[in-house]
Structure 1
Amino acid sequence: MTVVLSTQAVPDPEKAAYWSEVVNRTLVPMSVTPRNAGPFDGRIATHRFGYLQVSTVEADAKRISRTPALIGPSSEALVAVGVQVSGTATFVQDGRTAEVGEGDLVVYETARPYSFDYPQRFATHVFQLPRRNLAVPDSDIRRIAGSPISTSGGVGAALSHFLTALTSLAKGRPPLLAHRLADGFADLLSTLITEQARPDDRDPDTTGGALLSRVREHIERNLGDPDLSPESIAQAHGMSVRYLHRLFEAEQTTVCRLIQRRRLEECSRELARRGRATPTVAAVAHRWGFSSPAHFSRVFRATYGVPPREWRALHAAQGRGFTAPSTPSAPVARRTERPGAFRPESM
């Protein structure tokens, strides 16, 4: 449902105050200062697509400021995209100033101070979504905040066409379709931010290639952390859990399976080593992130065909170390196989 608020029916002396209240309630708390002395005229139409809010603002010249005092500790972190439909604006955030013309697009965060100065009557589209729904690090957003982005070509043009289509879909949509539209916006915006912030860090086959590599590196560095999970990984990389799972769709595995497989591989290698000082099976499991020895024993046996202690004994008797393959294959037959013939099964 579209909500339309306007100063048209408000008495002239109350228009400016009413408009300030409307902007604060519809977008985020801001200081609103009309630039002209006469009665203020403004109109804002808002509708939602799942977690995405779409607003179209038409108003007289004004200045708006999001000051530190207006950013409370309980304020939800939002990322906003402003598309200038008519008129111009001067945008300031993080000490950078952008002169925004018709057709330009600007990305900013509501959790940090910013200001817009509109010197004449204007129209703009404002798209707001929770920060957690974007699969980009904070540093990338800050690199492009305060810089106008052209929509004449590339990802900027694709996003602009998508946004234009969204603003025309004012009627209610089924919840599933609305969320898919929001997801499409989030994916395009994430791609645009990456393109603008990291022009030399693009994967030739997929825009998520570099991000996927960073996620894999993060998993390797934190295998021993029992709290390593899709939620903690997504938070560390400034993305949603949903987007994290999407990154792994073409990898023929899931995040949880990758974590478990890599932990088991490291445990199997360590248990197969020969040496005077051999840690207990429980100590090895704990070192590689398994908090429950019983759970570790179950998944190890399901993968390698024997319990961890038997795995260690077999390799100790064999008299040499063992390096587990990086990709598990078939389960072992325990009756007659030589110790060196054991191979992990598929997860």
Structure 2
Amino acid sequence: MNLCWEGRCEVDIPDGGLGVVAAGDLCASYSRKRPAEFRYPSGRYRGVELFVNDRVAEEPAFSLLDTGDNAIRRIAREAGPAAVLTEDAELNGHMERLAALLDANDGAMAEYEVLGLLLGLQRRDLSTAKPRFLLTRAQMGMAAAARDEMERALSARHDARTMAAAFGVSATSLNEYFTRAYGSTIATYLRRRRMEEAATQLAQGAKVTEAATYVGYANPSKFAAAFKKAYGVPPREWKHASGMGLRSV
């Protein structure tokens, strides 16, 4: 089980491509070996991952689960390759408390939280809980290639139509794949990453004009406006505040 707090998580769906789990989603998936299928397209991910061995259903502490056939296996069968529940406050609460308990090394209470989570999963119709976002491997490959191209040169001009033409698809299609994988359009992603890199440059002592040029802005005024929109303060103010923070360490 994988609860996403921030970013995106990619899950293999056999014969169905790739499911993308977004913030607020809990994904239940099944594998006969420790999954290698959780991947993080954007590299920006916070969440909780829980691996439950089906043998726990045989332990006395889990006797409240349905009797008969192994309850964990039944949940897995109903979920299929992957079941995604969106903004489920009860289940997400169990996962969040589990994270806190495991951080506190409280295994006994964590065990009962796992029981509560599994009981909750038994009450849901997991057969209808399909991932909101599905991509084929080819589509994910296009989105990843577009991201890599931007990350290699944030200051360069990147146009979705040019990128899409190289893949033989429309800009609309490429933006759709990219949004499913990374949570925003190509233009929005590039703008955010440029501002993040500019903020890093300013914090490291770069002048405002230097930071602007570094991320591809020839016009300092346009850079200042974009930076303030992203961070709520002008770049000079950010630079000053970052310098004060460094000096106070």
TM-score by length of 1: 0.30
The structure whose RCO (Cα within 8 Å, separation 6+) is larger is: 2
- Which structure carries more helix by proportion? 2
Q: TM-score normalized by structure 2?
A: 0.41
| Structure number, greater radius of gyration | 1
